[in-house]
Amino acid sequence: MIESLYESNCPALKLLARGKVRDLYEVDQDTLLFVATDRISAYDVIMKSPISGKGKILTQISQFWFAHLADIVPNHLVTADIDQMPAAVQQYRDQLQGRSLLVKRVDVLPVEAIVRGYITGSGWKEYQQSGTVCGIELPQGLRESQKLPRPLFTPSTKAEYGEHDENIHPDRCAEIIGKARADEVARVAVALYAKAAEYAASKGIIIADTKFEFGVDKQGNLMLIDEALTPDS
């Protein structure tokens, strides 16, 4: 079995994209294959040296959170067990074992659902300048990394590779995906964050903020997609 994987090579599958960390393949009209490589990136720059086993750890983290949060919203995971995947995938077992997810194909919503429980990062920078985060007014006198009165839904655009996401006001999110869907995304994202943050706190971990991505299946149902609560999210 390959110990470190910088780039997957599965010629029998159609390669759809190579992201900063993951490779995405088409398996059939209903399913895709997410492969978490050992690539690392910083500020959208991919480093030349991978971290052995990183992709496997990311995959395990997502599996845990998909299961833990499944009572709030369905997710796109079909299986992470390569023995349950199609033969076209199993032939690349040496590369894919432990670092691949077979997922449902959905229509991806063109926004990222960021939820902040603490004021830090780009949110803190904006707050210092205007007293807002994503245009949302916050109480005066907050300190950097202070816990917010309640988790805050602060969406962003979903930028193409090499470009940067743009923080947007929830009203702009509603203009992009429709008010009813935006309200659903906001409600679900905050519920996901709240449950995850509570569990993490019981283990001595603070989740300051995180990013969720969502899609819609053929029946119009909202689904949690991509990864879940990894260091990369």
pLDDT tens string 79-97:
999 999 999 999 999 999 9
Sequence-distant (≥ 6) Cβ neighbours of residue 157 within 8 angstroms: 110, 111, 112, 165, 166, 168, 176
Residue 164 has pLDDT above 90, yes or no: no
Q: Minimal CA–CA distance to 103: which of 233, 21, 226? A: 226
Using a 10 angstrom Cβ sphere, with 0-12 exposed, 13-18 middle and 19 or more buried, the burial of residue 55 is: buried
Residue 42 has pLDDT above 90, yes or no: no
Q: pLDDT of 45-92, one tens digit each? A: 888 899 999 999 999 999 999 999 999 999 999 999 999 999 999 999
Q: Which two tokens stand for residue 165?
A: 């996401």
pTM equals: 0.93
Residue 129 has pLDDT above 60, yes or no: yes
CA angle 66/150/188 to nearest 5° reads: 35
Q: pLDDT of 192-222, one tens digit each? A: 999 999 999 999 999 999 999 999 999 999 9
Residue 13 has pLDDT above 70, yes or no: yes
